[in-house]
Amino acid sequence: QKEVEQDPGPLSVPEGAIVSLNCTYSNSAFQYFMWYRQYSRKGPELLMYTYSSGNKEDGRFTAQVDKSSKYISLFIRDSQPSDSATYLCAIYTGNQFYFGTGTSLTVIP
Amino acid sequence: ETGVTQTPRHLVMGMTNKKSLKCEQHLGHNAMYWYKQSAKKPLELMFVYSLEERVENNSVPSRFSPECPNSSHLFLHLHTLQPEDSALYLCASSQVPDREKEKLFFGSGTQLSVL
């Protein structure tokens, strides 16, 4: 079983839609959860991080962690064409990072 | 210059060539990493230099050789690569040890093609 599982998509939505991106993880001891955004031909950039269950909001982005289900989500409200990118979930165990395969998102104007 | 800078951005090499990838971080971090990113696969950690100690993924072939002369510079030396080594090679840095350790900062990567 992989440490982190992520639906690769691709996902295509109209501008203004609410986007939901999801990952599951295998080990309930994992504590730190992150979302990275990667534009084409660029490296990943840290978008959101959290180290507890519940929601964390930053502008149009909300990161959600459900430790009981071992499920993490990223919600994007009022999606924009500039949100078109690949989104990677990541987990830090205390000494190692595990990444999902990434979900490719396209927001159509 | 800010952040993490990688050169070259693109590299095409034959299987018998020797080349090096370069990474420089301007964030004052004390740990640097090499990751390999292939299509539809998770980021694969290749090497870590943290507090002057090197940690490596034992599955990385010996044709990849890292070098970290100081905490700001990292190299990946390549020789006799195979076509399956074609991928995006990402350098990252972080500050250890403290809570910020969970934050990796990536460069833009070197897109490597092996012919």
Check pLDDT > 90 for residue A60. yes
B108, B1 contact by CB (below 8 A) = no
Contact A49 B102 (CB under 8 A): yes
pLDDT in tens, B28-50: 998 999 999 998 899 999 999 98
Residue B62 binned pLDDT confidence (cut-offs 50, 70, 90) = very high
Q: Report pLDDT for A41.
A: 86
Q: What is the DSSP string of chain A?
A: --SEEE----EEEETT--EEEEEEES-TT--EEEEEEE-TTS--EEEEEESSSEEEEETTEEEEEETTTTEEEEEESS--GGG-EEEEEEEE-SS-EEE---EEEEEE-
* Whole-number Å distance between alpha carbons of A77 and A100: 22
The pLDDT value recorded for residue A88 is 97
Query: Two tokens at A3?
Result: 């440490």
- What chain B residue is nearest to A32 in terms of C-alpha separation? B102
Site from A45, A97, A98, A101 to mutate, B interface, most B CB atoms within 10 angstroms: A97
Phi first, then psi: give them for residue A83, nearest 5 degrees. Answer: -80, -5
Percent of chain B beyond pLDDT 70?
93
- CA–CA distance from B56 to each of A33, A94, B95 (Å)? 23, 17, 18
B chain contacts of residue A44, beta-carbon cutoff 8 Å: 43, 90, 104, 106
* Chain A residue with Cα closest to B87: A41
Q: What is the mean pLDDT of residues A15-23?
A: 96
